[in-house]
Structure 1
Amino acid sequence: MTTQTGPSQDVSEQLLEAFKALANPVRLQLLQWLRDPEAHFPVHEGIADPHEVGVCVSHIQAKTGLAQSTVSAYMASLQRAGLVRSTRIGKWTHYRRDEERIAQLVDLLGRAL
């Protein structure tokens, strides 16, 4: 088997990172919930616009019932894959989908397969 180098390797690495992040059912669910934050999180309790800044980790934690450290690790995985962006407001971290990056990954997938 030959090893890829160059642009096609970069595309493969980007897609693999996204696939790894989405292979976990909870991370996939989180990304789906963040598509429509008003429908899934108590945004009226938030301190910022969920579309502009994102949803606070504490709200994500409350919805999932997972430990804060687990939620933070899951969100970091989604962020490394380029699927979400984080914004820090005071001591709170908020996450929102990176729609532009998600669209790029979908386009890459369509061209790669």
Structure 2
Amino acid sequence: MVPDRDLILKALAHPVRRDMLAWLKEPERHFSGQSHPLGMGVCAGSFERCGLSQSTVSAHLAALSAAGLVTTRKVGPFVFYTRDERTIGAFRASLADL
């Protein structure tokens, strides 16, 4: 799988999205207060820790999802996010071509 580098670079251009990816790398450290098991992923509502409105958080998560950097899992009214390490690894490898 060859990731869309331009879409990923655009997603990574915003510091909040980079923070979100970093938080997802260590969910136990950053989201330990989440009421749902972290094995499900991190609930979208848990990202409000960054001090942004729910709609802004959703827009940032949508950009990360569209770029393939995170995967989503919907459980009832909740959406859970996890890093897509396969896409992240493929993106990193693709940078060697530059």
Q: TM-score, normalised by structure 1?
A: 0.79
Q: Which AA in structure 2 matches 1:33? A: W
Q: Which AA in structure 1 matches 2:68? A: G
Aligned to 1:46, which of 30, 35, 49? Answer: 35
Name 2:12's counterpart in structure 1.
22
Question: In structure 2, what is the Cα distance between the partners aligned to 1:46 and 1:39?
Answer: 14
Q: How many residues align?
A: 97
User: 4+ residue stretches of structure 1 with deviation over 4 A?
Assistant: none
Aligned to 1:60, which of 16, 25, 47? Answer: 47
Shift of 1:53: 2.4
What SS does the corresponding residue of 1:82 show, helix, strand or coil? coil
Name 1:101's counterpart in structure 2.
87
Q: Could you say what the CA RMSD is over the residues aligned between the two structures, in angstroms? A: 1.5
Q: Does 1:74 align with 2:64?
A: no
Shift of 1:65: 1.4
**Structure with more contact order per residue of length (Cα contacts < 8 Å, sep ≥ 6):** 2
Q: Which AA in structure 1 matches 2:7? A: E
Shift of 1:54: 1.0
Question: In structure 1, what is the Cα distance between the partners aligned to 2:58 and 2:32?
Answer: 19
Query: What are structure 1's unaligned runs of at least 5 residues?
Result: 1-10
Aligned residues: percent identity? 41
Matches within 5 A, 1:6-17: 14-17=4-7
